[in-house]
Amino acid sequence: MIGMGILKGMAVTLRNFAGSYFDKERLITVQYPEERNPLPENYRNFPFLIYDGNDPHAGLRCVACQICEKECPPQCIYIIKSKDKKPDYVGKPQFYPAVFDIDISVCMSCQICVEVCPFEAIKMDKDFELSKRERFDNLLSRKEQLSKSNEYYHKIHPIEAVTVDKNLADAAAAAEAKKKAAAEAAAKAAAAKAAAASAPSSVISPESATGSTSAPGEKPAETTTPPKS
């Protein structure tokens, strides 16, 4: 029947309207900004940089490899590599970004920078209240603004962050095992070299061992007794 769909829709609206006086679950609007709906796990806005621990500089995971800068489709990432190095999460000396800017007026939230980063250093933020009065310099997010702790990452993407932590812990354990194996191999090689150096230098020749003057494999020369006269 024509108009049946409209009537059914109106019935749902009416039921929710009347029900919202008795059941809070039927209230589908929230009093923003005092009230907020929780954002889903995979919601994303603009990227941010992760640091471990409490020091945003020492714990910054980014090693300024510039892969994300090259891969960003609208080219809105700007990085200057440091001159010196600092230890990364496995203790290996690495460069870090002296400058790391993202122009969020250009960023299209595609997440490609996150996908290509080999160091789990850049992730997507959920912060959407970013309106500014000035639309040029204020929309350029600097390293200091972009750097956020791993605890913050756990808060906004709890499931993803646990997987990332596990991947990093596995990588650190593998690096430690490799280092240990290399140290053991070096110690063994040094011990073998020392043993070879302390061994006696005289080598017992086959001749002296057998008392024979013939070459190895050659039949020993027969000794002939001179006939008695």
Task: Return residues touching ligand SF4 (CB under 6 A).
Answer: 47, 62-68, 72-74, 76-77, 79, 102, 107-113, 116-117, 119, 121-122
Which residue, 109 or 133, is less far from ligand SF4 as judged by CB? 109
Q: What are phi and psi of 180, to 5 degrees?
A: -65, -45
Q: How far is the CB of 37 from ligand SF4 (least distance, A)?
A: 24
> 141: closest CA among 106, 95, 110, 96?
106
* Dihedral sign (CA 173, 179, 182, 187): negative
Strand boundaries in 95-195, DSSP class E:
97-103, 122-124, 140-141, 147-149
Which residue, 53 or 73, is less far from ligand SF4 as judged by CB? 73
Which residue, 103 or 212, is less far from ligand SF4 as judged by CB? 103
Alpha carbon 179 to its chain's center: 18
76 in Cβ contact with 103 (< 8 Å): yes
Q: How far is the CB of 68 from ligand SF4 (least distance, A)?
A: 3
202 in Cβ contact with 209 (< 8 Å): no
Spatial separation of the C-alpha atoms in residues 49 and 125, rounded to whole Å:
9
Q: How far is the CB of 176 from ligand SF4 (least distance, A)?
A: 21
Which residue, 79 or 156, is less far from ligand SF4 as judged by CB? 79
CA-to-CA separations, 166 to 111, 120, 144, 146, 173, in angstroms, rounded: 21, 11, 26, 23, 10
Q: How far is the CB of 54 from ligand SF4 (least distance, A)?
A: 20
Q: How far is the CB of 154 from ligand SF4 (least distance, A)?
A: 19
Which residue, 110 or 164, is less far from ligand SF4 as judged by CB? 110
Which residue, 39 or 101, is less far from ligand SF4 as judged by CB? 101
Q: How far is the CB of 69 from ligand SF4 (least distance, A)?
A: 6
